[in-house]
């Protein structure tokens, strides 16, 4: 029995003359800054923004003689004398008034703003845009134009120098911004979730409190923190409508500006203590704040 001869190997076609071998692609050079340079630049920008607050805290631990030097004193012996002076100047009543006015007004803003934003986002009316513009137009009026009517109204109602006057004013001041922010957060909730809850028999209040709010809790936290910052830093209404019983922390800090000059170290100590509550609240709620401010940024 004869076996077939193996087939001869297929000849490789000859390369054409003049054709050169393909050269490997060169890796592209990455432009821009390297990781180390980018990190250094980021830290430099961060320190630039933090430097005023850092200088404020450092000045609070100086003596008045060191705080008023020109050029500034960088090496000094830290002291707590300025903080003792601030607490000896009845700082706690002013702090209590600020806490009451800020927390109560923020709570009222959320109680009024959440249902309003919910209604304007889920069941918009024909004039929804006009309503929203009316809300935000109240922020266009200069506060100096309304302080005299407010003063007269508060005097006739016997509400001058009371913290509840500030609560009402801070609520009215922050409510338009809160409605706009909360409405944008409500619009980011998928409509399918709302329809599914309604198919299960949930009414509008149940959808709001059991479905919508747990989803947009970061947005509510961000809105609350912004309202707290605005209320805590408000000065114009507090200095014109209060005297001694309901004065807030910003009014207290003005006391360090005297005819004898500025007490820089004491003012820095008071400002450090005044900033501490909001900084602590922002630090605790930073995750919720970042999530709330970035809601809807990625689809």
Write down the pTM of the prediction. Answer: 0.78
Q: 26 in a domain, yes or no?
A: no
For residues 24-38, give the mean pLDDT: 64
Q: How many CB atoms lie within 10 A of CB 19?
A: 7
Q: 154 in a domain, yes or no?
A: yes
Q: 232 in a domain, yes or no?
A: yes
Q: 96 in a domain, yes or no?
A: yes
Spatial neighbors of 248 by CB under 8 A, at least 6 apart, are 94, 97, 98, 101, 166, 234, 238, 242
Q: 285 in a domain, yes or no?
A: yes
Label residues 2-18 b or e (16+ Cβ within 10 Å = b): eeeeeeeeeeeeeeeee
Q: 123 in a domain, yes or no?
A: yes
In tens, the pLDDT along 33-73 reads: 578 888 888 889 988 888 888 988 999 999 888 888 878 88
Higher per-residue pLDDT: 164 or 32: 164
In tens, the pLDDT along 173-232 reads: 999 999 888 888 888 877 787 778 777 777 777 777 877 888 888 888 889 988 999 999
Give yes or no for residue 164 having a pLDDT over 70: yes
Q: Report residue 278's pLDDT band, with 50, 70 and 90 as the boundaries.
A: confident
Q: To 5 degrees, how large is the angle CA 275–CA 214–CA 102? A: 25
Domain of 222, in residue numbers: 90-293
In tens, the pLDDT along 88-140 reads: 888 899 999 999 999 999 999 999 999 888 888 877 777 777 777 877 887 78
DSSP 118-177: HHHHHS--TTHHHHHHHHHHGGGS-GGGTHHHHHHHHHHTT-TT-HHHHHHHHHHHHHHH
DSSP 183-218: HHHHHTS-HHHHHHHHHTT--HHHIIIIIIHHHTHH
How far is 22 from 18, CA to CA, in rounded Å?
Answer: 12
Domain count for the chain: 1
Q: What is the pLDDT of residue 7?
A: 53
Please give the distance of CA 23 from its chain centroid, rounded to a whole number.
56
Q: 63 in a domain, yes or no?
A: no
Q: 74 in a domain, yes or no?
A: no
CATH number at residue 177: 1.10.3720.10
Residue 261 backbone phi and psi in degrees, to 5? 125, -175
């Amino acid at each position: 029995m004869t076996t077939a001869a193996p087939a001869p190997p297929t000849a490789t076609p000859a390369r054409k003359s003049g054709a050169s071998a393909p050269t490997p692609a060169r890796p592209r050079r990455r432009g821009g800054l390297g990781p180390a340079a980018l990190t250094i630049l980021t830290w430099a920008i961060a320190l630039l923004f933090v430097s005023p607050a850092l200088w404020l805290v450092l000045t609070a631990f100086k003596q008045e003689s060191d705080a008023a030097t020109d050029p500034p004193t960088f090496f000094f012996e830290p002291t707590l004398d300025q903080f003792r002076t601030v607490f000896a100047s009845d700082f706690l009543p002013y702090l209590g008034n600020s806490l009451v006015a800020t927390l109560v007004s923020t709570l009222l803003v959320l109680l009024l703003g959440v249902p309003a934003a919910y209604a304007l986002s889920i069941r918009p009316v024909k004039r929804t845009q006009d309503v929203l513009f009316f809300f935000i137009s109240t922020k266009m009026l200069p506060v100096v134009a309304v302080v005299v009517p407010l003063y007269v109204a508060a005097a006739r109602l016997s509400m001058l120098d009371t913290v509840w006057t500030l609560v009402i004013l801070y609520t009215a001041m922050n409510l338009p911004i809160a409605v706009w922010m909360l409405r944008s957060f409500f619009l980011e909730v998928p409509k399918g979730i709302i329809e599914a809850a309604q198919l299960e028999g949930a009414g509008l209040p149940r959808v709001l409190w059991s479905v919508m709010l747990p989803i947009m809790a970061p947005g509510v936290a961000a809105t609350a923190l912004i309202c707290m910052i605005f209320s805590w830093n408000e000065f114009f209404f507090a200095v014109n409508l209060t005297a001694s019983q309901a004065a807030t922390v910003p009014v207290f800090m003005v006391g360090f500006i005297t005819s004898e000059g500025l007490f820089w170290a004491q003012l820095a100590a008071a400002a450090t203590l005044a900033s501490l509550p909001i900084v602590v609240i922002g630090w605790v709620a930073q995750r919720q704040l970042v999530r709330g401010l970035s809601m809807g940024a990625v689809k």
